[in-house]
A and B are shown apart, each in its own frame.
Chain A
Amino acid sequence: MRKVFKIIQGERGQLLPLAIILLSAGTLLVIALLPQISTMLQSGYKERELAMARYAAEAKLNRVVADMIRGADAYPVTYTTTSPHKAGQAYDTYNITTTYTAANVTVNDYTPSVTISLPSPSQTKPANQQSYVDPGVTHPYLATVPAGYAYVMRLYNVKAGTIQVNWAYSPASNSRIGVYAGIPTDSHGIPYVPGRIAEWPSQHPILDTGSSPANQNYNRTAAIAIDPATDGSGGVYTVVFGKMTGQDTLTTKAFQPSGGINDTWIYVKAYKDYLVTATAGGVSISTYLRQAPGYSEPPVWTSPWTVNNPSWITNKVYIYTWRPP
């Protein structure tokens, strides 16, 4: 036994080569597996990035849609319209240019870009419908209309179709509604600023109820066919709700898309179509949107639309196409 221990104590081994061989084998194994691990990691990362980019692009689109709902003219244009006139009469021409810049949205570290355009005239479009539009019943100048005053509002994207207006209010009293193709002006030729006016426009209306019966708590125009292509309006129509005589202050009843005499509404075909594409991280989502009724006043065009200065009309935005990547 002592001899054995002596042999062991005197031995000098060669573990180093063995360790090197084992380490080399291990290293080769890791190197062989590395590409697969790397591919799996890259695949997962890419999928996650694409999803995050898609969410960011969707957020940008939703931001534009939200602005449209609040009345933004998302594709600013110059509207050319005229003062109301009969065929053969003199008229003034007005060019009104709107503005809009989509706010930046940063989601998942992406700040998507957006392109907004109008469908081409020859492009196939969704079928269109008449709709009931809120003239802005929450605007303080329409919410209550004192005697001797009128409320002026405008729609900018009216299409050929029918127009009819109903103004429901309390107490029962007389009132007057006028609809004008284009922009009516005062006696100095200055366009009436949307909001409150203290006189009745003297120019030629396409609809005028005159003074309604004093025992009624509504005033309703006839329904007439209109065509912006032939009346010089360029799609811009002005509606005036007036309480020009008497003593009462009229309190306007709520907007309801009912067509009934007890609600306030404008029955018209008004909308604007858009092609909107948002892009983030190479991921694009394209949409076809319809905004109804589109840009309106008040607020007045000279005080540009902003999220803090939105339309008094809540628009509806219909998504006709949502084309994901």
Chain B
Amino acid sequence: MKGEKGFTVLEIVIGLVITSMLGAVVAAAIPMAMQWAPRQANKLGVEADLSFARYWLTRDANAAETFIPLSSPQYGSLQWRDFSGASMVSYNVTYSYNSATTSLIREEWQNNVLLTSLPIARKILSQSDTQFTWSPATGRLTTNVTATIVDAPGVGTHSRSVTVVTTLRPAPELAIAPPGEVPTPPPVPGSQIYYITVQPTIITGSYVSGNVASLQSVDINYYVVNSASIPGAKAVIWWGESQTMTAPPTISQIEVRFTGKSSKTNISVEFFVKDSAAGFPVTPTSGFTFTAADTDTTRSFYLDATALAYVNSLAQRKVTFKIETTGSAVFTLSTNQVLFIASPP
């Protein structure tokens, strides 16, 4: 034993003291460590989710042409068209809140078919923790997403937010009034142009040529109908429907712009816009007379309050309008373009 070497008493004493202190610290830290790990995982998860949400919101807003606010639990819809492929693809990305999973959900629709639905941010405790603020006048969309971790009772919560501010692309080219026409006020920012969506239905007259594409641009292609006899006169009567007006969210004014020509002069034109489920009104919404033959003439008119209220009440907002063109002699009505310009307040 005399020759043995070992820990000295002092070392043992110091060791015991240190061990005791460490033990006390570790004993206190173990419960904290058990909470710390999942809490850190939660924080990392929230950070990752918010980063994910920021990516998708930025990406969608960069691509979008317009934003349409929607009612709860949806926030709104970003919409755009993709012309880069063989066929145009319309995109509609809807953001909504799922209270069951406390998640911000992104749904992507292509040509009205649901393509993906995924949560892009979790721990969103209430619908109001995500806000979309849209300014149609400036095209600016501000999105704020707040995720909150509720830690163990008594420990508190941890919130993180991300704000994405984007400016949507300017609206594409707007239709203009041709020379010589009384200039109409330019559409207010946020206005959206729509075209006739299906081939018109002819009530009176005989179809000659043209189709929906003929009615979508001012060019050499016309939608042509020859007149037919009605009591005491000759007439062309047909009706058509606009595309579904998905934007702006609140339509306060709809302008209908007609460009066409008649083969004869002094042919009167009357427009009727459907203002109830019952059908077209008896009184025309607007009208004019072709004062020259074979000369493109553009006329525009605004929907009256009744017709506007009716369009706004529809789930699929569309303008249905009828054109009655009458004269005393046989004539041909050639329609070059019909535009519908929906304007926000």
Contact = CB atoms under 8 A, between A and B. Distances in A.
Do A and B actually bind?
A: yes
A131 B7 CA distance: 97
B117 to A, nearest CB: 20
A127 B178 contact: no
Nearest to B215: A127
B169 A319 contact: yes
A244 B195 CA distance: 45
Interface string B38-75: 00000010000001000000010011000000000000
B110 to A, nearest CB: 12
B216 A161 contact: no
A40 to B, nearest CB: 8
Contacts of A47: 51
A124 B219 contact: no
A7 B195 CA distance: 104
A321 to B, nearest CB: 5
Nearest to A40: B44
Interface string B162-201: 0000000110111111111101000000000001000000
Contacts of B63: 321-324
A128 interface: yes
A63 B292 CA distance: 48
A2 interface: no
A162 B178 CA distance: 10
B296 interface: yes
B179 A8 contact: no
A257 B175 CA distance: 12
A254 interface: no
A292 B173 contact: yes
Contacts of A125: 83
Given A14-B7, A223-B296, A275 B218 contact: no
Contacts of B178: 130, 162, 164, 223, 259, 267
5 contacts: A123-B86, A125-B83, A259-B179, A259-B180, A325-B59
Given A13-B7, A18-B15, A290-B173, 19 more contacts: A8-B10, A11-B8, A122-B86, A126-B88, A126-B172, A127-B195, A128-B219, A129-B217, A159-B219, A166-B179, A225-B220, A269-B218, A286-B84, A319-B169, A320-B83, A321-B82, A322-B62, A323-B84, A324-B63
Top 8 A-B pairs ranked by shortest CB distance?
Answer: A11-B8, A259-B179, A288-B83, A124-B88, A160-B220, A127-B216, A161-B219, A324-B59
